[in-house]
Amino acid sequence: MSNHEVLPLSGHVASAVSEAIDRSRPDLAGADPVVRRSEHADFQSNAAFALAKRVGMRPFDLATELATALDGEQFGCVELSGPGFLNIMVPEHAIWEQMSARLASDRLGIAVSQAERRTVIDYSAPNIAKEMHVGHLRTTIIGDSLARILEFLGAEIVRQNHLGDWGTQFGMLIQYLDEHPDATWRHDELTGKTSAASALDDLYKAARKEFDADPAFADRSRARVVALQSGEPTTTARWQEIVDESENSFRDIYNRLDVLLTPEDSVGESFYNSMLTSTINELVDAGIAVESDDALVIFSEEVTGPDGSAVPLMVRKRDGGYGYDTTDLATIRYRIHDLKAKRLLYVTDSRQALHFQLIFEAARRAGWLTDAVDAEHVAYGTVLGPDGRPFKTRAGGTVRLMDLLDNAVERARTIVAERDPGMAPADLDRIAEAAGIGAVKYADLSTSRVKDYAFDVDHMVSFTGNTGVYLQYAHTRIRSILRKASDAEMPIDPSIPLAPAERALALELDAFGTTLTDVADTLEPHRLCGYLYDLARDFTTFYEACHVLSAAEPLRSNRLALCQLTARTLEHGLSLLGIKAPERM
Ligand code: ARG
């Protein structure tokens, strides 16, 4: 197999239209050829509409000129339609040749379009001594999928798990643990399904209560904060133990979700502690951070509050402490200067939009964030319960992530077992896990990320509709056809005419790379989900209309090649979403 790039047909058509524009209207040279897939032809160009005014023509007349200029090109048929659309059909042999070239490539002919773009992806970032909740599910899944997609396109990915592992709350928690040596929270002391993070979450709440009720405890807690910040050994050791135990429970979730994050990717807030002073000094020296009411702040030059005054970013609080804002200033500086990032992605919920807008603005003013670097907040909406209200347990508590995953896997098991009651228990376990976890991930990734969505397990694990299970199942069906064919792969014969359903499937297969580029630009994995769903449906239409196994050669081989490429594209697409594609289910 090769790793040669295969330019998609849409790309060939776009260059041909561009050349036609250049040749017939040199004054429009370089204009966008506006080529899209179309229901009326293989492709359509709407360039005449966008460009006619610029040369004082009617779109129809410009389109006529372009059609004539295109006629000499490699296309079977170019037709003018309506007030100026160009309908373009590509020759059949060219479509088959695309299929052969993609099959011959171990990366399906997809170009390395993000080569050497060093991209830092900040995702997951749960808080130490707190339970991971449904909000962290989204950042973890979306961030992981973007990491996979951009990496496949050649970007150099640096994953950063910006754990919330620092802050005054740790003084309180450590003090409380010290005064309650019987409290159980280490994983080896816990029984049942409670995780260390969850036990610590409870103890933290108890500590908070005592802090509010007992001024003496509050004082001892404050002293602990000072001890922690000055690196006092026993306090630091206890803090480290808390971090490690929490991270271990997060790790269980990461393993279950099959995400790429490793312990090396954990670079929490505490990591930036030693950089805060120099970061702040730089901002003060540049006149960007200013004193205001005993605090040090950066007033935005772009955003004003409801009363018309500039919105501040808190660099140092009145009590002298540093918070979330300060750390993120040091973080962005570090990622640009030390990690040498060319693109910075922050995957957090949309409620943090203002925070990141202010951080990016400050970084730009400080000269860290230049035009050579892109910084983007990859924002997402809220997960709602099936009733469309904020997601809570029946008792009104937060839903534990592990419980949620267990539940999805359980439902998937029921559905899979119903379809195939004879399945061996070990297979059932494996497939239910792949289907249940895949279902949760797909449901999350397939909705436009800025939107809220309702977490509805019954819908997620359904074998029909736009679900992960449907796509996994579509893939297994094609695999089973290929197993039945069981003969050696034959080369495609490009001289064979294409039935409409074959043509539609082939053109969709050819558009995989275009879809990935689109996701890389927009950072919207739902576009890949939508593509895979369309592909699976095009395959179904093809399979209903065209015999495969019983077709005569060479048609049979050509059709098997379409099956093969569809299976590989589905499997690869799912893997870029972080979803497994089992052989059978
Ligand atoms: N720990 C934060 C939270 O739970 C998310 C951190 C996101 N990353 C960052 N660099 N601020 O909301």
CATH classification of the domain holding 66: 3.30.1360.70
The last residue of a domain, from among 265, 286, 320: 265
Does some domain include residue 46? Answer: yes
Range of the domain at 196: 169-265
Whether residue 328 has its Cβ less than 6 Å from ligand 1: yes
Q: For residue 332, what pLDDT is reported?
A: 98
| H/E segment holding residue 151 | helix 134-152
User: Which strands sit side by side in the sheet containing 85-89, from one edge to the other?
Assistant: 35-37, 43-45, 85-89, 77-81
Ligand 1 atom nearest the C-alpha of 348 is 7
Does some domain include residue 287? Answer: no
Closest by Cα among 73, 107, 37, 46 to 505 = 37
**113: its two tokens:** 């379009």
With b for 16 or more beta-carbon neighbours within 10 A and e for fewer, the 5-25 pattern comes to ebebbbebbbebbbebbeeeb
Atom 9 in ligand 1: residue holding the nearest Cα: 162
Does some domain include residue 369? Answer: no
Cα-to-centroid distance, 82 and ligand 1 (Å): 52
Does some domain include residue 238? Answer: yes
SS3 label, residue 509: helix
Task: State the amino acid at position 491 in one-letter form.
Answer: P
Does some domain include residue 53? Answer: yes
- pLDDT by residue for the chain (585 residues), tens digit each? 788 899 999 999 999 999 999 998 999 999 999 999 999 999 999 999 999 999 999 999 999 999 998 876 577 789 999 999 999 999 999 999 999 999 999 999 999 999 989 999 999 999 999 988 888 999 999 999 999 999 999 999 999 999 999 988 999 999 999 999 999 989 888 877 788 888 999 999 999 999 999 999 999 999 999 999 999 999 999 999 999 999 999 999 999 999 999 999 999 999 999 999 999 999 999 999 999 999 999 999 999 999 999 999 999 999 888 999 999 999 999 999 999 999 999 999 999 999 999 999 999 999 999 999 999 999 999 999 888 888 887 777 778 888 899 999 999 999 999 999 999 999 999 999 999 999 999 999 999 999 999 988 999 999 999 999 999 999 999 999 999 997 777 899 999 999 999 999 999 999 999 999 999 999 999 999 999 999 999 999 999 999 999 999 999 999 999 999 999 999 999 999 999 999 998
SS3 label, residue 399: coil
The last residue of a domain, from among 248, 265, 282: 265
Q: What is the pTM of this model?
A: 0.95
Q: Which residues have CB under 8 Å from 327's CB, separation 6+?
A: 166, 269, 272, 276
C-alpha 531/C-alpha 110 separation (Å) is 15
Q: Do the Cβ atoms of 375 and 130 come closer than 8 Å?
A: no
| H/E segment holding residue 79 | strand 77-81
Does some domain include residue 496? Answer: no
Does some domain include residue 317? Answer: no
Q: Do the Cβ atoms of 164 and 126 come closer than 8 Å?
A: yes
Whether residue 345 has its Cβ less than 6 Å from ligand 1: no
Give the mutation target among 137, 275, 352 for probing the ligand 1 site: most ligand atoms within 8 A of CB.
Answer: 352
Whether residue 162 has its Cβ less than 6 Å from ligand 1: yes
Give the mutation target among 127, 246, 348 for probing the ligand 1 site: most ligand atoms within 8 A of CB.
Answer: 348
The last residue of a domain, from among 265, 288, 309: 265
Domain count, the chain: 2
CA distances from 219 to 65, 106, 212 (A): 83, 63, 11
**384: its two tokens:** 């709602």
CA distances from 532 to 97, 110, 475, 580 (A): 22, 16, 10, 14
Does some domain include residue 409? Answer: no
